[in-house]
């Protein structure tokens, strides 16, 4: 499952939700007919699909109407859920592009050829993305995902 964003809470009284996007072009999601909802750490097969009825971008947040969210109470209950799609549902990338999910599990090697571990995840910050790199023994490093470092 490729995580696209996180439901931040309700919008209005009709069951719309505010979604904090984790992608460069979140409006492209509106072309995906179905989204999946789940919680962090849940197995992909436990995520539940829902039809996307409407999706707009406002102030860097997506406002989405989902089939499974009927009213404001349901939208409040959905806060904190992750929004994702199976990798095969995403459009193909250009030669010099990738999805963050494609990086998870890749080995990180320094300029001396020493392994620093594998990518566990990415963190979006206002300045740049940050790689979470785990050494397999519980230690983690945070590496800025910028050309000077990567």
Phi, psi dihedrals of residue 117, rounded to the nearest 5°: 130, -160
**Dist. CA 17–CA 77, nearest whole Å:** 10
CB 104 within 8 A of CB 85: no
Task: Answer yes or no: is pLDDT of 124 > 90.
Answer: no
Task: Answer yes or no: is pLDDT of 6 > 90.
Answer: yes
> Among the listed ranges 61-70, 86-95, 106-115, which one has the minimum average pLDDT value?
86-95
pLDDT, residue 93, reads 83
Q: What is the pLDDT of residues 34-89, one digit of tens each?
A: 999 999 888 888 999 999 999 999 988 999 999 999 999 999 999 999 999 998 88
pLDDT, residue 123, reads 85
Long-range CB contacts for residues 25-29, cutoff 8 Å, separation at least 24? 26/57, 26/62, 27/55, 27/57, 27/62, 28/91, 29/4, 29/5, 29/55, 29/62, 29/83
pLDDT, residue 144, reads 93
pLDDT, residue 78, reads 97
Average of per-residue pLDDT across 102-120: 92
Average of per-residue pLDDT across 88-92: 83
**Dist. CA 150–CA 131, nearest whole Å:** 10
pLDDT, residue 66, reads 96
pLDDT, residue 92, reads 84
Structure-token pair, residue 128: 């740049």
Rounded to two decimals, the pTM is 0.73
């Amino acid at each position: 499952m490729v995580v696209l964003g996180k439901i931040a809470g309700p919008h209005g009284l009709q069951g719309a939700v505010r979604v904090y996007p984790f992608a460069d072009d979140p409006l492209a999601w509106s072309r995906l007919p179905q989204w999946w909802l789940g919680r962090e750490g849940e197995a992909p097969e436990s995520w539940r699909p829902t039809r996307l009825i409407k999706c707009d971008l406002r102030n860097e947040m997506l406002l989405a109407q989902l089939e499974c969210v009927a009213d404001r109470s349901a939208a409040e209950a959905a806060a904190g859920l992750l929004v994702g799609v199976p990798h095969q549902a995403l459009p193909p990338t250009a030669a010099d592009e990738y999805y963050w999910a494609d990086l998870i599990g890749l080995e990180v090697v320094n300029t001396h050829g020493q392994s620093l571990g594998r990518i566990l995840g990415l963190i979006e910050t206002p300045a740049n993305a940050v790689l979470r790199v785990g050494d397999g023994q519980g230690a983690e490093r945070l590496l800025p995902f910028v050309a000077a470092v990567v």
